[in-house]
Amino acid sequence: MAVHAHPDDESSKGAATMARYVREGVDVLVCTLTGGERGDVLNPAMDRPEVRANLPALRREEMARAREILGVRQRFMGFIDSGLPEGDPKPPLPDGCFALTPLAEAARPLVQAVREFRPHVMLTYDENGGYPHPDHVMTHNVAIEAFEAAADPDRYPGTGEPWQPLKLYYFASFNRAKYTALHEEMLRRGLESPYVKMFEERAKDPDRRDRPEIELTTRVPCGDYFEIRDAALLAHATQIDPESFWFACPLDVQRQAWPTEDYHLARSLVDTELPEDDLFTGVREKVCL
């Protein structure tokens, strides 16, 4: 089970991993906490008045296409996108949005989904949300609550029979080592690296430069599924510009320099030895997958 904040998050974080496991026979469910209603149109080719007027419906249609490409199941949890506050000072979050929902109320549908789907492994964001969008931070809080509460028969009555997932991972998609390796491989091939600007901006920003990175405990080989990941990303046409940074590095460079998607093991109820190359290490032995 992958727990995400908005449509398109599932395709930019862990998508090749999910595609690989689905094709190996694993049942995968994406739980999307909000509908992305307050998102912007990030693809200039799609930035038209009729698109903005119909954005919530379009984002659901895009999610349906991405779901089919990845081969996963997917459910919306029913909360309203909080938007990304901008400005100094930042404006207050809108009433009724996901990030302002009381934790027990926000976690209830996810607890029910855990008890119905009965996942062995859950994926979500770290305590910083991967990046500081209020919905991503709230998604972390809700996923932790569901992981810890779903097995307790006294909590969240009326949401199904208790179930305990065995492992919880945080996405570690954006780490320095990965982008350094991609950058160096492109230079080795005589290609212009798209990462120079990113490194320069990071060096100028002390918050980003000095922020400790999440430990990579688990690197899942999935380079053979990068095309599927990219196709799922492109299905989110209002959010993903085909000429953007996402597609600036050739796939053969990615497969050579960094052919994995990366995670941090945050909780485990099974024995495992780090580093791992499989999210189901220790789980397979316990449940005979």
pLDDT in tens, the chain (289 residues): 999 999 999 999 999 999 999 999 999 999 999 999 999 999 999 999 999 999 999 999 999 999 999 999 999 999 999 999 988 888 999 999 999 999 999 999 999 999 999 999 999 999 998 888 999 999 999 999 999 999 999 999 999 999 999 999 999 998 999 999 999 999 999 999 999 888 888 777 766 666 778 999 999 999 999 999 999 999 999 999 999 988 999 999 999 999 999 999 999 999 999 999 999 999 998 886 5
Residue with tokens 């209830």: 108
Kindly state whether residue 54 falls inside one of the protein's structural domains: yes
184 shares its domain with 78: no
40 shares its domain with 147: yes
For the full predicted model, state whether its pTM sits above 0.85.
Answer: yes
Q: Whats the size of the chain, residue-wise? A: 289
Instruction: State both tokens at 36.
Output: 């992305």
Domain count, the chain: 2
Kindly state whether residue 256 falls inside one of the protein's structural domains: no
68 shares its domain with 162: yes
Bridge-based pairing state of the strands 260-268 and 167-171:
antiparallel
269 shares its domain with 192: no
For residue 93, the tally of other CB atoms under 10 A from its CB is: 16
- Domain enclosing residue 82, as ranges: 2-173+261-287
Kindly state whether residue 120 falls inside one of the protein's structural domains: yes
Kindly state whether residue 241 falls inside one of the protein's structural domains: no
